[in-house]
Amino acid sequence: MLSPTPLSLFCALLLCLPLAVIITITSPTTTVHDGSGHNLVPDLDPPPKTQQRFSSKPLPLPLHDDDSLFRVASRVNSKLPPGSPKKIAFLFLTISPLPFAPLWELYFNQTPKDLFNVYVHADPSYLYDPPFSGVFTHRVIPSKPALRFTPTLASAARRLLAHALLHDRSNYMFVLLSASCIPIHSFDFTYKTLTRSKKSFIEILNNEVGSYDRWAARGKDSMLPEVTLEDFRIGSQFWSLTRKHAKLVVGDEVIWAKFNQPCVVWDTCYPEENYFPTLIHMRDPRGAVPATLTHVDWNGSFDGHPRMYVESEIGPQLISRLRKDEPRYGDDGTYGSDSPATKQRRRFPFLFARKFSPGSIQPLLRIANDVVFKD
């Protein structure tokens, strides 16, 4: 058998070079770079079967990475994979540890793992000791500081939506929660309520007291011409959005640019309570039930915070009362009248509630199986 000569080897290499170029050009990639070599969307690659590809500690990213993240997330497929069950994406936005993690652990352990995903946006300026564990292990997305009276809380929510969209195409409904939120129904009840709906649940209120001050918080006429006072809306920070509306949020640049401005009057600056209801009202009001499914009690509120339930108040009576309360519905054209037909549609229950003090975790655990998760 003849040995290859250097010349024949060189010719073979030249023949293979065009094929290598073609493969390189046509191979698909989901990596997004910022020019410095950083991968801006580290969770785009399919996660290993044994462990999700999320760091338990937020990763440092360039300050301008969000634009690329949102741009890619807005292009994901709107349709769910055929034959795949709908999933609920639970989005936890926190600037502290999760005091009710044990309760959520019980909540999620009662259901198949292919019906939900968990994502956490954790302020990286806080030391999480001990770190997130159990169902929250490796579920922290790359996060940034989130502060009241700034657009950063709304930015964090948009970031959660983007990562959830990119991570799992089966995510059907996206639920935003805080560290002080608890479930007040079983997972099965919540799952059926949300996945049977084709609409988002987001509070959209018009002509609320203080609307003008909030609209002008960035300076007089700073919201014009894109957002007029007539289009400005107020609503709860906590919502449940469909996949369609999640894509709408991350793909929005025009309306977000108006809300993503620093306020000159800080004590009327609540972008997280204004941006989302305003955007949905302006872009797709009929695609939403204008009410939140997260219960909150503003009686006795202090410093812009709602009432906080303490350990001595926890019991079956409280859970029952929270369930029996009815959401407040906005008047954006679909649920605004008091006709019998409208009232018939207003039968959506509260699924979550806030705020609860960290000390209430033990009495909640004691009644979890017999009360909280018993429908």
Output the pLDDT for position 286.
94
Query: For the chain, what are the domain ranges?
Result: 64-332+344-365
Output the pLDDT for position 129.
80
DSSP states along 116-134: EEEEEEE-TTS--SSPP-G
Output the pLDDT for position 242.
98
DSSP states along 197-256: -SSEE---B-S-TTHHHHHTTTSTTTTTTTS-GGG--B--S--EEEHHHHHHHHH--HHH
Output the pLDDT for position 48.
34
pLDDT at 59 over 50: no
Output the pLDDT for position 23.
37
Over the stretch 248-289, which tens digit does the pLDDT of each residue have?
999 999 999 999 999 999 999 999 999 999 999 999 999 999
Output the pLDDT for position 115.
97
Over the stretch 228-250, which tens digit does the pLDDT of each residue have?
999 999 999 999 999 999 999 99
pLDDT at 194 over 70: yes
| pTM for the predicted model, two decimal places | 0.81
pLDDT at 10 over 90: no
**Which backbone phi and psi does 274 adopt, to 5 degrees?**
-120, -40
**Hey, how many other C-beta atoms are within 10 angstroms of the C-beta on 216?**
18
Helix (H) or strand (E) holding 16: helix 6-26
pLDDT at 20 over 70: no
Output the pLDDT for position 105.
97
Q: Which two tokens stand for residue 235?
A: 């609503």
Stronger pLDDT, 61 or 160, i.e. the higher one:
160
Output the pLDDT for position 102.
97
Which residues, 6 or more positions from 312, have their beta carbon under 8 angstroms from its beta carbon? none
Assigned fold of 64-332+344-365: Spore Coat Polysaccharide Biosynthesis Protein SpsA; Chain A (3.90.550)
pLDDT at 140 over 60: yes
- 213, 247, 244: which is closest to 229 by C-alpha? 213
pLDDT band at 110 (very low <50, low <70, confident <90, very high): confident
Over the stretch 295-340, which tens digit does the pLDDT of each residue have?
999 886 666 678 899 999 999 999 999 999 999 999 655 544 444 4
Cα(90)–Cα(176) distance, rounded to whole angstroms? 6
Output the pLDDT for position 44.
34
Cα(171)–Cα(183) distance, rounded to whole angstroms? 19
